[in-house]
Structure 1
Amino acid sequence: MTEPARDGRHDFDFIHGRWQVHNERLRQRLVGSNDWEIFAARDECRPLLGGVGNLEEFHTGWDGGYEGLALRLYDIAAQQWRIHWASNRSGALEPPVSGRFADGVGTFHGDDTHEGRPVRVRFLWEPLSANGVHWQQAFSADDGASWETNWHMWFRRLDAADRLLHEDNVLELRQYTLHPGQRDVLVELFEREFIEPQEAVGMHVIGTFRDLDAPDRFVWLRAFPSMAARREALQAFYFGPVWQQHREAANATMIDSDNVLLLRPVGGDAGTRAALPRPALGATARAGAFCLGICALRTAAEAGFTAQFDRDFAPRLRAHGAQLIARYCTDASENTFPRLPVREGERVLVWLARFDDVAALDAHLAALRADPAWQQALDASRATLAQAPELRRLLPTARSELR
């Protein structure tokens, strides 16, 4: 029995809206080049004809100013999309690509020429989350036997204030041990080269910190919409041109970068409600101080310790001036990007608290040590805690959102 044909007229609804676009474009095509140019763009797409079409406008200052327009129309009879592209360079519609979506990925093919040479063209569209999309273009000069990808676009949705929209459902707490004297070198490189390119491909760099008690430790938090989106974002960044260009300089500062906890927010709060707009490169801003608490558990946090923390620990932290902004527990999912190890087989509950300055943080820690109720809470948790909580004094770097 033939299955009824699938109606795909709403398959492109995900692209409606306003976007920031990170572009990586191969400078020369079909010559074996690996020289990529990187540029930003703005994009907006709106539906047409009751949803069977949409119109997308693309604007960038790249190459003296480039504007493009995509017209997508769903052929109801053929049950496939046709995508037509035009730009300010020609003012003419290029030959369309046609195709449909299957298993969450849209695949579209067409015929064109490149520098007078006939080529097959392939578009791949992959919605990665509600606020992130990946598009790529490839050419084939041998009728599809082999393909060379020559253009990537990572779309990040913008809110009404032109800020990136984030979905912080999976987090990494990364603690790097650096060579002596190299922390400021890494911080300067990180803030100059690595924040925006990571966020462009689907991550959220929530906070970056110097550990006040370990001069060679750099601590940071980044988040992802899901484990699947994490895999795609890390693949895009660590195999992309920005990391390839700067990885030797970054790795030269590090002794160990494998101290990584994979976490998820407790109660859906990743602490981003306490984050501030990120300062521009070179800006100086008044920063607070943070306490990072790490409870190593004998059992999963979900098996009772979260409630115990809220009942016995959180009130004492608040009583001594802590602004608790987030709690995290272990995400025991399989590591979707094994190239970057994480600490597996451990169970933790982590909290993050903000203070106005280092003096307030130090007064808080001194008060905790002198508080009998805090000690009683620790004593009552001996069956659950594998050891006393680790308490890290952290100072935000200049461009940290959490500050």
Structure 2
Amino acid sequence: MTDTTKPTPPTDGRHDFDFIHGRWRVQNERLRERLVGSTDWDVFDATDECRPVLDGAGNLEEFHTAWNGGFEGIALRLYDVDSGVWRIHWASNRSGALDPPVSGRFEDGVGTFYGSDQHAGRPVRVRFLWSRTSANSAHWQQAFSIDGGASWETNWHMWFRRVDEHGRLRHDDAVLELRQYTLQPGQRDVLIDLFEREFIETQEAVGMHVIGHFRDLDAPDRYVWLRGFPSMEARREALQAFYFGPVWQRHRDAANATMVDSDNVLLLRPAHPASGLAPASMPRPAIGTALPAGAVCIGTCALRAPAAEGFTARFEQQLAPLLRQHGADVIARYETDGSANTFPRLPVREGECVFVWVARFADMAALDAHLATLQGSARWQEALAAAMREELLQAPELLRLAPTARSELR
């Protein structure tokens, strides 16, 4: 009998690279010397823009950086419909010629592409890996092998962050960390200086959003900060990229030397779809900016049960109106995210139910006036007592916070 079974046609992958269309800011981590056991990396910024060509059957990407005297490159990606394979061609201003292409496809959200080339006069296998970590971030890495693919040395990472028409990063903060660090006496300003110089842009480059960082006015050795992530999986990838990357490795000893405890961390999500922090209206201040006049209060409520079972509604209907009546600009509300910690190397507080609100004030005098009138309000005390009987384990913890010079939230 004749076998009439036809080969299964490849899945149509013409849209696999649609995620890279648009404008990007790119952090590069490039190994200075390849295939010699080096662990010394250059870290530099670039801009990137990609557009579709050939009615979607390909795309053209342009890469620009001032690093190393100025470097420009283009990637031309073409999709072979018959074979279901992408071929990627690269050229730079250093050679003016197309490198040998790499080819491959996407499976389970990861694109793997192989090719052959030469490095320092000897043949190498080349591997590109592409992954999309969120709507506004992506990751590319290049590796070489000199043993036919038995082992690989990664020599270049590109961390892509999408930018808007004004060149500002776009963020998706579905997951939030509220981090409170206890520091060695007198070391808070040391950490703040290091953090604002080395750890803001480099964390954001690999997929995080450094939202706000503050001096706690009631605890001189406490540093409080907030960072956001698009998802728990994106959090895992971003934290792994940063804490195993060259910037943290270079500065971790100096940072850790300032700390007594960094494990007081709440993992949060917006209490309802419209309750997260809104995007910043102004660009992040530059290094050397004077301290802002604003003040922030973060209220944390320890609950007997998840906030959605009653406390969120109580807060919106009874407590939030009183906070606003006494001068608070309540800008966000969050509840516990009970997901498993996707990066156990950094512990979080588990087994707790909390509700957190964030309020902004024009200055510290306005915050202190708010707290004074709130504590003297009979209606507030009555509403709080009712919540204590039903949902609260204790009175809310209120943090009086002064934004540091480069805090986005101020």
TM-score by length of 2: 0.97
CA 1:123–1:274 in 2, change beyond 3 Å: closer, same or farther? closer
2:9 & 2:119 partners in 1: Cα distance? 39
Kindly state the Cα deviation for residue 274 of structure 1 after the two structures are TM-superposed: 5.4
Residue of structure 2 in register with 1:391 after alignment? 398
Residue of structure 1 in register with 2:312 after alignment? 306
Residue of structure 2 in register with 1:148 after alignment? 153
Q: Please say if residues 292 and 403 of structure 2, whose CA atoms lie closer than 8 Å, have aligned partners that are also in contact.
A: no
CA 1:189–1:367 in 2, change beyond 3 Å: closer, same or farther? same
Corresponding position: 1:47 with 2:52: yes
Range moving further from structure 2, 303-312 or 268-277: 268-277
What is the correspondence of 1:297-336 to structure 2 with a 5 Å cutoff? 297-336=303-342
Q: Please say if residues 275 and 402 of structure 1, whose CA atoms lie closer than 8 Å, have aligned partners that are also in contact.
A: no
2:292 & 2:196 partners in 1: Cα distance? 17
Kindly state the Cα deviation for residue 266 of structure 1 after the two structures are TM-superposed: 2.1
Aligned to 1:197, the other structure's residue is in SS state helix
Residue of structure 1 in register with 2:217 after alignment? 212
1:270 & 1:379 partners in 2: Cα distance? 27
Corresponding position: 1:349 with 2:371: no
Q: State the Cα RMSD in Å.
A: 1.0
What is the correspondence of 1:122-201 to structure 2 with a 5 Å cutoff? 122-201=127-206
Q: Please say if residues 279 and 285 of structure 1, whose CA atoms lie closer than 8 Å, have aligned partners that are also in contact.
A: no
Kindly state the Cα deviation for residue 333 of structure 1 after the two structures are TM-superposed: 0.3
Query: Structure 1 counterpart of 2:292, which letter?
Result: R
Q: Please say if residues 206 and 272 of structure 1, whose CA atoms lie closer than 8 Å, have aligned partners that are also in contact.
A: no
Q: What are the superposed Cα offsets for residues 216-235 of structure 1, whole Å, 9 maximum, x if unpaired? A: 00000000000000000000
Q: What are the superposed Cα offsets for residues 186-216 of structure 1, whole Å, 9 maximum, x if unpaired? A: 0011001100000000000000000000000
Corresponding position: 1:373 with 2:379: yes
Query: Structure 1 counterpart of 2:248, which letter?
Result: W
Aligned to 2:180, the other structure's residue is in SS state strand
Query: Structure 2 counterpart of 1:92, which letter?
Result: A
Kindly state the Cα deviation for residue 284 of structure 1 after the two structures are TM-superposed: 1.5
260, 283, 291: which one aligns with 1:277: 283
364, 370, 373: which one aligns with 1:364: 370
Query: Structure 2 counterpart of 1:29, which letter?
Result: R
TM-score by length of 1: 0.99
Residue of structure 2 in register with 1:295 after alignment? 301
Kindly state the Cα deviation for residue 275 of structure 1 after the two structures are TM-superposed: 5.5
2:203 & 2:354 partners in 1: Cα distance? 26
Corresponding position: 1:112 with 2:117: yes
Residue of structure 1 in register with 2:62 after alignment? 57
Residue of structure 1 in register with 2:409 after alignment? 402
Query: Structure 1 counterpart of 2:159, which letter?
Result: W
Residue of structure 2 in register with 1:236 after alignment? 241
Residue of structure 2 in register with 1:250 after alignment? 255
Kindly state the Cα deviation for residue 42 of structure 1 after the two structures are TM-superposed: 0.4
* Identity among equivalent pairs (%): 73
Kindly state the Cα deviation for residue 304 of structure 1 after the two structures are TM-superposed: 1.1
65, 69, 74: which one aligns with 1:69: 74
Aligned length: 403
What is the correspondence of 1:8-23 to structure 2 with a 5 Å cutoff? 8-23=13-28
Residue of structure 1 in register with 2:343 after alignment? 337
Query: Structure 2 counterpart of 1:243, which letter?
Result: W
Aligned to 1:138, the other structure's residue is in SS state strand
